[in-house]
Structure formats: C-alpha cells, structure tokens
Amino acid sequence: MADADSFTHPTVVDLRSDTVTRPTDGMRKAMAEAEVGDDVYGEDPTVSALEERVAAMFGHEAALFVPSGTMGNQIGMRLVCEPGQEVLCDADAHVVTYEMGAAAAIFGISTRTVVSDRGLLDAEALIAQVRPKGDWHLTSTAAIAVENTHNRGFGRVQPLGELRRLWEWSRGTGVAVHLDGARIWNAHVASGVPLSTYGSLADTASVCFSKGLGTPVGSVLVASAERIATARLWRKRLGGGMRQVGVLAAACQYALDAHLPRLGEDHEHARLLAELLGVDPATVETNMVVLDDVAAPLLAEAARAEGVLVSQVSPRRVRLVTHLDVERAGIQRAAEVLNRLLDR
C-alpha cells in the first residue's frame, strides 16, 4: 500500500474521481482577492454575483450557493415535495445511493426507485410509476429526480428527447422535476445542448463546482425566486448558512471562466484512456471509463503501488475518472501500468 505522501506526489495519477483536484494557482489568487461580506446577511457581493450568474446560465430566476451537491439536491427536492409524499428516481441515482438517506432522515420524504439501464433516463418507465395525489390509499408522487450526467451510469449523458418528454408530461400534472446536475457541465460540453435548455426542463436543479470544474467546495441550487427564498431558510436550518464565503464563490467564478472551457479535454482524455485500454470508446460519453471483468481489489492495490489510483465500484469493476489534474502523459502512464497489470 502507498503511504500518505503518495497522494501529493507529482507522479501519482489519481483517477478515482474528479473531486480530487486541487485549486490551481489562478484559482487561489482569485480566492485571495475576492471581495467578501457576511452572506447570511446577504452581504457577500461575490456570492450574490455567482448566484445571479448561475441562475441566468440556467434560465432560472434565482439561485443559492450551498456547501455541497448533497445539500443542493436535498433542499431542491424538499422545495417540491412535502413530508409524507414521494420522490421517484432511478435505482442508481445519487440522491438515493450516496446521500445517506437524507430525504427520509431529515425531511420525511419517501423515495421510490425504478431500475434503469445504467442510469439511462426512460421517461415512460418513470411516468408509469407516478401515483396521484388525493387518493387515500397511496403515497402521492410529488417529484421525479433526474441525474445528468449519471454518476453510476459512468458519465452517461441523458437524451434530450427523454428529458423533454418527462418535462412536457409533468406540466399540468403537479409533478415537479428535480435535476441532479452535479456534472451537468460535462453533459453540456459532450452534447452541445445549452445549459439554459437543461435548466428549462427542471423546476429545481443542483449543480456542482467541486467535480469537473475543480473548486475545493461549492454547489448552486437554481429555481424560482419564491422557491429560493424558502431554500435560504432550509440552508440555514441545516447549518449551511455561511459567512464570508465570497472566497469560495470566487473559486466558482474562476472555474466558470477558466475550467468550463477546457472540460472537453477531460472527455478527450477519457476516450484516449479507453482506446489505450481496449475499452469500446462508444461507452465513454464524458469523463469516465469502466473496466469490467477485472479482479478489482487486486488491480486497484497493484496499480496503487505504482502510483495509479483507481476506484473499485464492485468486485469485478473498476472506474477511472479524468479531470483537471491529469494530463495526457498521466493518461498514458496509467494505461501502461493498467495494461501491464492486466497482462494485455
């Protein structure tokens, strides 16, 4: 096993997740120079500017800066779902897999899931499961949560036609759509679909800055002005009221200017990695590559000993994620090490 030093060693290629990036010098400079104020008083100009910018990008009235994507998702869902009602989503959705049962534990929201083909949105399959309001037998469905790109679907981009189908169906039914857009930037870059189009197909949406955009922390929730006013109360209630966090919002502003335009490089690197590893590039839509039918624990440990870090997602499956801190040379080195270990 590698020691702690290896995590900061420059030759380590860390492909476990796109969350492992470190703020760049330019980002640190932007953070250091940020104008700040007390954001609980609504007086941090850098946070307010970020909220306005992100709301506008997604075509929503308002936005709220939150510490994590989990908080963005959970508040977003609570805005459109009352305790005792349910949110419907796919069985591998982040909101039910990796958020510690928050919807139930904190908000009294029930969740029901539909099995999908590696996270692929199937509007009909979800719509078929919706339960109406006003029936004294049934838990009513208040919202449907959609994830784009899909994390456990290995960076899959949701088809615009399915998103539209779900949205158009939902209007007039009283069922809201929440978008978990932690990696919506990757979807936008891969598909060319404008962020405002994705925004127009959701009542509430949470987007992350700490994944492909490379900030240390931060997510933004977008919705109507009325809903965001309520979200502000929920954020404070959950302990997410932050003070001079313009330093963090400045990192997000910097990421939109400097890192969003380069996100396509991560996708190119993922395709290159797939090619070098003999993985079908057609399975690589954004910044994730999957190695199937491998002895995941053995491979991960052996790769780590050579300075290549990967994620085991199951005993037979390894996930590789490209990001800002891995350059082309790192991709080549990782492929060389993995191919050798796999005897390919």
Ligand X SMILES: *Cc1c(COP(=O)(O)O)cnc(C)c1O
Residues that bind ligand X (CB under 6 A): 68-70, 73, 94, 147, 151, 180, 182, 208, 210-211, 219
Sheet of 86-90, strand order: 62-66, 219-223, 204-208, 176-181, 141-147, 86-90, 110-114
Least Cβ distance, residue 156 to ligand X (angstroms): 11
In sequence order, what are the residues at sequence separation of 6 or more whose Cβ sits closer than 8 angstroms to the Cβ of residue 224? 60, 61, 62, 203
Which residue is closest to ligand X by CB? 69
Least Cβ distance, residue 133 to ligand X (angstroms): 27
Measured from the CB atom, the residue of 178 and 333 that comes closer to ligand X is 178
Closest CA to 201 of 168, 156, 155: 168
Q: In this structure, are residues 1 and 300 in contact, taking their beta carbons and an 8 Å threshold? A: no
- Fill in the DSSP letter of residue 150: B
Rounded to whole angstroms, the Cα distance separating 85 from 207 reads 24
Rounded to whole angstroms, the Cα distance separating 29 from 152 reads 34
Least Cβ distance, residue 290 to ligand X (angstroms): 15
Judged by phi (left if over 0) then psi (alpha if -120 to 50, else beta), residue 322 lies in beta
Measured from the CB atom, the residue of 219 and 312 that comes closer to ligand X is 219
Least Cβ distance, residue 151 to ligand X (angstroms): 4
In sequence order, what are the residues at sequence separation of 6 or more whose Cβ sits closer than 8 angstroms to the Cβ of residue 11? 307, 333
Least Cβ distance, residue 97 to ligand X (angstroms): 9
Measured from the CB atom, the residue of 113 and 210 that comes closer to ligand X is 210
Least Cβ distance, residue 210 to ligand X (angstroms): 6
Q: What tokens does 344 get?
A: 């390919």
